[in-house]
Amino acid sequence: MNDRKYAELIIKEALKIKKGSILVINANTEVLPFVREVAEQAYEAGAAEVKVNMRDEILQRLNAANMSEERLAHFGTYHLDEAIDYAEDGACYLSITGGDPDLLKGIDPKRIALASKTAGAVMKPAMKYTMNDMNSWCVVGYPTKAWAKKVFPDFSDEESIQKLKEEIYKTVRLDREDPIAAWNEHLDILTKRANKLNDMNLDRLHYTTKKGTDLTIGLPKGHIWVGAISTDDRGTEFLPNLPTEEIFSAPDKNRVDGVVYSTKPLNLDGSLVDHFKVVFKEGKAVEVNAKVGEQNLKDLIKTDEGSCYLGEVALVSVESPINRSGLVFMNTLFDENASCHLAFGAAYPTCVKGGEKMSDEELAALGINDSQKHVDFMVGDETLEITGYDAEGKAYKIFENGDFVI
């Protein structure tokens, strides 16, 4: 297992970069050597351009703590112009996550929310290119020192980074004798389960756990359960996440009622939110309580009109190798692939038949949520039971003891 193999998997299997492709990479300065490896692999595959956007966490924290509120409330539209220019040229997108889970700890949550809301409002028109799968995109992880020390605090910096890297390699099946064959087998299982759910034509789901979750989630007419594979407007299949263990769809934003309890920490804009519950009434989050990071969560659901409604419902077995590792990664990409999860904010229009070609008004009529945010949070554990019901009230057991029974 090495970085070159990982980069090859991303370029050749996840994004399928080919002659003439444009690749946009968003990453942390600490992982620059790996970014260079990915860029090299992309050019070897025939890429026409690799555009790299780097962010530095030390500067990010300095800005969050010290920038004037006037400048926090300003985000130049040139960022949007550049993003749309690349998207219209058919760019593929790679985001490399792995920052410090406590990066913005101790900083006023209202400053964090202001900066996030401002940037989100400006960049929202660019979201459609990935949310609608118009362009190929993929999110992957790579270890940084602060993240690795959070997951493996009892080891030296070097040892913790190496241990986290090995765990990441395992989650993307690079530890298998034939990683590509292992991926094909895994993707086939996810696709077959998604097809079974689609055949049920469900109207709603009911969640319960011993923690106290008792939640009913309505599903839109014509909803689609999606496995790991997506297809962009140019007909290229891609994997939006590495790793990926989920089958997901969009809820009817107006038909969510009850209470749900979190089962893993949420890394929200550089601050951890943990041990929280959310109460929904007619789709809207009307109450949130958290032992850690409550204000951050409250600010999230006040970002815009849609941020207090759900935009995703995703099913992940507790038998996921990520969950069975016993690790809490403190990183949403990995923790969401260890647990059933939901998401505040925008839904993927591709989760309803013909949704990628519908107008905003048509999507809204189906209950497809719209927001500048999309934030996953984990709700699954070994006690999770999910029962699906069709429009006639016929019951289908989907999950027992945190695992699929279909």
Contacts of 212 (CB under 8 A, 6+ apart): 259, 261, 277
Is residue 216 classed exposed, middle or buried when 0-12, 13-18 and 19+ CB atoms within 10 A define those classes? middle
| DSSP helix/strand/coil, 192 | helix
Q: What is the pLDDT of residue 269?
A: 83
How many other C-beta atoms lie within 10 A of the C-beta of residue 204? 19
Q: What is the pLDDT of residue 1?
A: 63
Amino acid, res. 167: E
Sign of CA dihedral 252, 388, 288, 350: negative
Six-digit token string for 95: 């985001």
Burial pattern 345-365, b for ≥16 Cβ within 10 A else e, equals bbbbbbbbeebbebeeeebee
pLDDT digits (tens, 9 = 90+) for 49-106: 999 999 999 999 999 999 999 999 999 999 999 999 999 999 999 999 999 999 999 9
Tell me the angle at which helices 109-131 and 78-88 cross, rounded to the nearest 10 degrees. Answer: 20
Kind of pairing between the strands at 271-281 and 284-292: antiparallel
The distance in angstroms from the start CA to the end CA of the chain is 34
Q: What is the pLDDT of residue 76?
A: 96
| DSSP helix/strand/coil, 126 | helix
Q: What is the pLDDT of residue 270?
A: 85
pLDDT digits (tens, 9 = 90+) for 251-292: 999 999 999 999 999 999 888 999 999 999 999 999 999 999
Six-digit token string for 278: 């959310």
Q: Which residues pair with 375 in a beta bridge?
A: 344
258/62 Cα distance (integer angstroms):
40
- C-alpha angle with apex 330: 247 to 17, nearest 5 degrees? 55
Segments in the chain below pLDDT 50:
none
Residue 227 near residue 191, CB atoms below 8 Å: yes
CA within 13 Å, CB half, 244:
27
How many other C-beta atoms lie within 10 A of the C-beta of residue 327? 17
Q: Nearest CA to 262 among 321, 335, 167, 311?
A: 335
172/189 Cα distance (integer angstroms):
16
Amino acid, res. 112: I
Number of residues that make up the chain: 406
